[in-house]
Amino acid sequence: MIHPTAIVDRKAEIDSSVEIGPYCIIEGNVIIKKESKLLSHIVVQGRTEIGENCTISPFAALGGPPQDISYKKEDTGLCVGNNNIIKEYVTMNRGTIHGKGITRVGDNNFIMAYSHIAHDCIVGNNIIMANCATLAGHVEVSDSVIFAGLCAVHQFCKIGKHAFISGLTGVPKDVPPFMIAAGSRAKLYGLNVVGLERHGFSKEEISKLKKAYRILFRSALPLTESLKIIKEELSGDHIRELVEFIGSSKRGICR
Q: Which of 68, 120, 143, 174 is catalytic?
A: 120
Sheet holding 77-80, edge to edge: 13-14, 31-32, 47-50, 77-80, 102-105, 122-123, 140-141, 158-159
> Phi, psi (5° rounding) for residue 87?
-90, -175
Active site residue 149: no
Q: Which of 63, 68, 99, 119 is catalytic?
A: 119
Q: Which residues contact 139 (CB under 8 A, 6 or more apart)?
A: 118, 121, 122, 123, 153, 154, 155, 156, 157, 158, 159
* Burial class (CB within 10 angstroms; exposed 0-12, middle 13-18, buried 19+) of 16: exposed
Q: Which residues contact 169 (CB under 8 A, 6 or more apart)?
A: 148, 151, 152, 181, 182, 183, 184, 186
**Would you tell me the crossing angle of helices 237-248 and 223-233 to the nearest 10 degrees?**
160
Active site residue 137: yes
CB atoms within 10 A of CB 3: 14
Q: Annotate 104-128 with b (16+ C-beta within 10 A) or e (fewer).
A: bbbbbbbbbbbbbbbbbbbbbbbbb
Q: Which of 63, 77, 137, 160 is catalytic?
A: 137
Give catalytic residue positions. 119-120, 137
